[in-house]
Amino acid sequence: MEASFSRRKLLEPVELRALNERSDLYGGLQMASHLGAIAVAGWLHALALGTWWVLVTGFVLGVLINFTYAAQHELSHATVFKTRKLNAFFGRIIGFIQFYPRDFDQVMHFAHHTHTGNWDRDGELVREPYTLWTYFLWMSGITYWRNRVFGIVRRARGIIIEPFVRQEEEAKLIKESRVCLALYLAILVVSIATGSWIAMTFWVLPLILTKPVQQLQNTIEHLGLSHEDDILENTRSTRTNAVMRWLCWQMPYHTAHHIFPSVPFWKLRELNAKIEGNAGEVHRMGWIEFQIEVIKKLRAKDEGQYPMNEVWVIPRSGGRTTRMQAEG
């Protein structure tokens, strides 16, 4: 994913070249800190077993594991490490842990970047418009996990229904699903044979039960925005703090990422500042603020009843203001 999907001339070529530089050091530090936090949380979780503290440690562990998808996302872009093989290596491991195999994620995500907001071609938008009920099901993780698990099983059977998958990609995705499914079944068989709950206690249950936390970031990035071919109008950044930006691998700067997806995650803050200096503030909301507004909107009518070419979930203070509007 080396192409720039910018709709405007926001950076000079020399600036973009500098921002595009990868680093094994910075990528390694972020990966080590995230995996290290998971290791510490897992250790505390083991100590807490048999006490009520297990609810706290399990929550922390689950959130940390869920947000490794932020790492997988960047690994799919090959922007975490300068050494490309490291991106593939960690991407496959994390994709397996997430029940979201790397090759499928890359195909889906490339379609998402190429056709952001297009109902028929965006890889992340292959769904029916939300009603309030279906939105709650998605936020809870119920339909999320149904799609992930059933998708792997279906593709392992050789059935590809995703419209964004090209025919020449099908064999690769089928093979990947079969390998992953075989490994999941092997873990299940070993767990049953040994009477071990390790996989459930330190991986599957924390991952499933804390999915709603990660859904806060997943849903804020594009929902309630225009479906027109304008990144500054169809993508939203997140107003949050430094800890959450670390946890999300800087994806709260989501508009900047969509405009120049080749820029590594650790340079997105700098990139965002340059973009806003030229184009004005991007769409930005906080997690809770967004959830309140979108639920209000879906209580009034279903997603499909709102205009496709307009922004319909905005902060109470109003939408984005461009530099030209501010100067006018």
Residue from 192, 286, 260 nearest 10 by CA: 260
What's the DSSP call for residue 283? P
pLDDT at residue number 48? 98
Alpha helices (H) in 157-310, listed in sequence order:
170-194, 198-199, 205-209, 211-220, 231-234, 242-247, 254-259, 268-279, 287-300
User: Model-level pTM greater than 0.75?
Assistant: yes
Regions of the chain short of the pLDDT cut 50: 1-7, 322-328
pLDDT at residue number 10? 85
Q: For residue 58, how far is the Cα from the chain centroid?
A: 21
Strand stretches in the chain, DSSP E: 237-238, 284-285
User: Any idea where the domains of the chain sit in the sequence?
Assistant: 22-317
- Between the CA of residue 5 and those of 9, 133, 193, 318, what are the distances in Å? 11, 34, 51, 26
What's the DSSP call for residue 286? -
- Between the CA of residue 177 and those of 112, 163, 183, what are the distances in Å? 21, 17, 10
Residue with tokens 């922007």: 79
Rounded CA-CA distance 202/115 in Å is 37
Rounded CA-CA distance 6/279 in Å is 12
What is the residue type of 130? Y
Q: Under a CB-based contact definition with an 8 Å cutoff, are residues 204 and 250 in contact?
A: no
